[in-house]
Amino acid sequence: MMNKVLFLVAVIVAVMASSVKAFTLNMMSGRKPLMGGNWKLNPQTTKDATSLATEFAKKVKGKTDVDIVIFPPHPFLFPVYEKVEATNVQMGGQNCFFESDGAYTGAVSTCMLQDVGVKYVLCGHSERRCVFKDDDTAIARKVKKVIKQGMNAVLCFGETQEEYEAGLNHEVCAIQLLKDLSMVTPEEMSQVVLAYEPVWAIGTGLVCPADVAQEVHQFCRSVIAKKYGQAIADKVIIQYGGSVKPENVKEIMSQPDIDGCLVGGASLTADSFAKIVHFNDQ
């Protein structure tokens, strides 16, 4: 009888240990998970944007073991900020310009973003690279400008499908990281978040297998270690982005070098993004 009880206790402990493994690993590393919701060109009205933010904030109220940031389109930043200002949901900008002011029609400065509550700014998202032709020089300047403004730069990088199939994911990531961080000092790295986003997995429903993503994250951390030293590499948050959903987030987050997710499509409904944020509560 005693043996049976001991066996049962051992099984329960083993199950509990494996289910908290992901979170514990990240806690051991001292890196707090960061979940970001990139709304891209959605929704279309202030009313829909503020409702989405309000509903989402309600669902993640009191969740303090994960940092949370949403990236609404620029015109909705202030109305959304007014809704989430007193909550645990932080504000992010999807883009910025590297100049402070002047004759730059259509541009948005880092000062303007900060003035409407923004704490994080995406730099180098693949849609900016591919559609708007942001190159590494411009991205490096944006990263620096965001940091100088006192905000956090979320530097997105990742390989295309052709590059992935050619086995070039490490090379592509290393080149983008080194070029885009070329102006960042070691002291400024505490204001940088990295987001590995394989282009072929963004908005396609194709998720990079968790073990492949882990291996790329580990490699990218080693690139940071070579440039800035191991202590800084151990602290830097590296998010994964590419078709993250409530169904796959737990497996992704169970990888020791994956410290959060950047979520596009699934951040557009309060319920699915809240489930992603609550990945370690099930």
Would you say 109 or 260 has its CB closer to ligand PEP?
260
Which CB sits closer to ligand PEP, 142 or 228?
142
The contact set with ligand PEP (CB under 6 A) reads 38, 40, 197, 202-203, 241-244, 262-266
| Least CB distance to ligand PEP at residue 265 (A) | 3
Nearer to ligand PEP among residue 27 and residue 212 (C-beta):
212
Q: Which is nearer to ligand PEP, 156 or 233 (CB)?
A: 156
Nearest to 60 by CA among 270, 280, 282: 270
Min CB(166)–ligand PEP separation in Å: 22
* Nearest distance, CB of residue 185 and ligand PEP, angstroms: 27
Alpha-carbon distance of 4 to 63, in angstroms, equals 38
In whole angstroms, the minimum distance from the beta carbon of 268 to ligand PEP comes to 9
Q: What is the 3-state secondary structure (H, E, C) of the chain?
A: CHHHHHHHHHHHHHHHHHHCHHHHHHHHHCCCCEEEEECCCCCCCHHHHHHHHHHHHHHCCCCCCCEEEEECCHHHHHHHHHHHCCCCEEEEECCCCCCCCCCCCCCCCHHHHHHCCEEEEEECCHHHHHCCCCCHHHHHHHHHHHHHCCCEEEEEECCCHHHHHCCCHHHHHHHHHHHHCCCCCHHHHHHEEEEECCHHHCCCCCCCCHHHHHHHHHHHHHHHHHHHCHHHHHHCCEEEECCCCCCCHHHHHCCCCCCEEEECHHHCCHHHHHHHHCCCCC
Shortest CB 91 distance to ligand PEP, Å = 17
CA nearest to 196, candidates 185, 207, 184, 205: 207
Residue with Cβ nearer ligand PEP (75 or 203): 203
Give least dist CB 246 to ligand PEP, A: 12
In the complex, residue closest to ligand PEP by CB? 264
List the catalytic residues.
Answer: 125, 197
Q: Which is nearer to ligand PEP, 92 or 264 (CB)?
A: 264
208 in Cβ contact with 240 (< 8 Å):
yes
